[in-house]
Structure 1
Amino acid sequence: MEQQPNQPSPENIMKIGTGFWASKILLTAVSFQLFTTLAQKKSMTAKNVKDLLGLKCTDRNVYDFMDALTAFGFLKREGILDAATYSNTIDTDTFLDKNKPSYIGGILEMANNRLYTFWGSLGEGLLTGLPQNEAKRSEDFFGLIYQDPEKLKEFTGAMSGIQMGNFMAFAQKFDFSQYKTLIDVGGSAGLLSIMVAKHNEHMHCTTFDLPPVEPVASASIQKFGLEDRVNTASGDFFSMPIPSADVVVMGNILHDWDEENKIALMRKAYDALPAGGAFVAIENVIDNERKQNVFGLMMSLNMLIETGTGFDYTFADFNKWANIAGFKSTTLLPLTGPSSAAIAYK
């Protein structure tokens, strides 16, 4: 029977309420490197998958797992049940094959290994206003990742994965014709600097982060062969001045902090710029009506989980802080998906 207009329906309630089922199916496939394996083998049967991964569940469980991934649009299928063969879609082949430079699965790996569990305590976070990550065990997450090369690699991979499309879009959409130098504050693996230099041959870029990150960034720069125009610098952007440049960028940095520290960082960026220079914040800028950018709203809650006091913001918020910091004008440049570059000019 067809649903009548304006009649109540539980469909959306159930879809969102059980959304963690769908999430965990995808995250598990990524953790199994299923899409990477399929990219190599082109296609596999459910039995091939079961044998290769050493799964001890029933054949029917494997069919359900693979068919759910197919129904979500992550796999293509020919045949059914034991006669079925599965292969990657164009999206999973491009973005979830770990052997391709376009791989964005790092953020999904971190979601599976860390965030999935921590988000189970969202209610506690809202009640207490306290972080729900490693801090609950009196551990400093950032301290932990910078001490452990494997954790650092996972974290930088996650940050690169979630921002790579934005970095590429920014490098090609932003008008760099009036500028010669750029510094990426909290630059992680250095991919923003690399993308800007790759697409703008006159630009010289510096990726600036804490000392343990420098080898990761240096390896990325060497991989792209851009050592002549991209370099690294080490330091703490809170305890020391930001090195001078024509363009200062912060990608997924401002949202880590409360309003007071956001303004402090924007003032430091202002001090690092010449007249006419640009400060750029690349984040999931929430629409001013706070109705459309749902991912931005969820990312803001993720900052509660991770930091307790950090939050994502609207362009109106950014304008207010830019005015306090002394900037003359602002503009918003849409990038990919829910992300934008909020830009303030000195």
Structure 2
Amino acid sequence: MNLSTESENQLTPSRIMETGLAFFASKTLLTAVKLGVFTALSGNQSRSGNELQKALGLHERGVYDFLDALVSLGFLNREGLLETAKYSNAPETELFLDKNKPSYIGGFIEMANDRLYRFWADLDLALLTGKPQNEIKSTGHSMFEELYSEPARLKQFMNAMSGISTGNFVALAQKFDFSAYSSLCDVGGAAAVLAVEVAKQHSNISCISADLPQVEPIAKEYIAARGMTDRVKTANLDFFTDEFPKADVITMGMILHDWDLPNKMMLIKKAYNALPQGGAFIVVEALIDDERRENTFGLMMSLNMLIEFGVAFDYTGADFARWTKEAGFRKVEVIPLAGPSSAAVAYK
């Protein structure tokens, strides 16, 4: 018996086809979030296809194909069929994709639809040239220049970052031992989500969220909405030109992966200089596993950094340990957070 031939006969191309056409499913979900399907079904209500068509302004041709595809993907529930059907949210879409809930993570999905989906069509060009494939191709301006030039676009980006990061920041506040510290500065703090979560769970910590001046109104709005104005402050910071505020803990949420290695090392050194002996530098990222085999999301995020910035890249815990020890930190640990993300902690 030829075992090789038998093994080949058992192989099917189904996984290749499923992955190759995964953008069908991706775009279906992205579109559902953009159109507000899950928000239209908020509160576990059931609505017919005709009701959803009218509520969302859809053409009649695609209504049932669209809604039933979401059922097949597990994002909607359904009772009945076609005209007799009633649709409702699945538990995860009810919790995470209803805009009326604080647990909404759709900001990142909206940004993926409006920006990243189109840029990823040019992944081949990014791999061939090593150059970014985002707005810079048409405008000559970098991603951050484009984002920060328009308040509405900046707020969408901040909401997207908040949506994808909140679970990680809650997990960090729960899993890291903050008892020995009294102050925290979140560098590149965006909407101040990390600072708010730490302050909520640790009364011993005074928190500062530091970012560019354009971001401060967004952060202050978020802080006030959560009743944390007395516990969390904001500061203006350009981390390329300014030294970091002194604090017992310096954090960075999805910041370090935005840059090339020289800039990564510059930021690490600034964090080291801002900390006291015994202080902690914490980065929250989709850390790639050290063997670079398992954290697919982390590897894909690194490709996204190629598309966005060209020279930027994600990294492993071992990479972080090597860089921070070179900067003078004495030890490093990695704390798993939510999903594919982790906190890498370097102690001075």
**TM-score using structure 1 length:** 0.97
- Aligned pairs for 1:217-296 (under 5 A) are 217-296=219-298
Aligned to 2:124: 123
- 2:94 counterpart of 1:81: no
| Count, aligned residues | 342
CA distance in 1 between counterparts of 2:146 and 2:278 reads 39
Shift of 1:5: 9.2
Asked if structure 2 preserves the Cα contact closer than 8 Å seen for 1:188 and 1:207, the reply is yes
CA distance in 2 between counterparts of 1:196 and 1:79 reads 46
Shift of 1:47: 1.1
Shift of 1:261: 1.0
CA distance in 2 between counterparts of 1:240 and 1:139 reads 23
Asked if structure 1 preserves the Cα contact closer than 8 Å seen for 2:44 and 2:89, the reply is no
CA distance in 2 between counterparts of 1:53 and 1:319 reads 50
Shift of 1:217: 0.3
Aligned to 2:310: 308
Match of 1:304, SS?
Answer: helix
CA distance in 2 between counterparts of 1:304 and 1:123 reads 11
Structure 2 regions of 5+ residues with no counterpart? 1-5
Aligned to 1:91: 92
Q: 1:6 to 1:283 in 2, by over 3 A?
A: farther
Deviations 1:92-115 (A, max 9, x none): 111101111111001000000000
- 2:112 counterpart of 1:111: yes
**TM-score using structure 2 length:** 0.96
Say which of 204, 210, 213 aligns to 1:211.
213
Say which of 1, 11, 33 aligns to 1:8.
11
Deviations 1:141-172 (A, max 9, x none): 21222221110110000110110100000011
Q: Percent identity, please.
A: 55
Aligned to 2:166: 164
Asked if structure 1 preserves the Cα contact closer than 8 Å seen for 2:43 and 2:94, the reply is no
CA distance in 1 between counterparts of 2:145 and 2:263 reads 19
- 2:35 counterpart of 1:54: no
Asked if structure 2 preserves the Cα contact closer than 8 Å seen for 1:45 and 1:86, the reply is yes
Deviations 1:236-264 (A, max 9, x none): 01101000000000110010011111111
Aligned to 1:30: 33
CA distance in 1 between counterparts of 2:150 and 2:63 reads 35
- 2:70 counterpart of 1:69: yes
Shift of 1:140: 2.6
CA distance in 2 between counterparts of 1:156 and 1:248 reads 20
Amino acid at match of 1:56: H
CA distance in 2 between counterparts of 1:4 and 1:39 reads 48
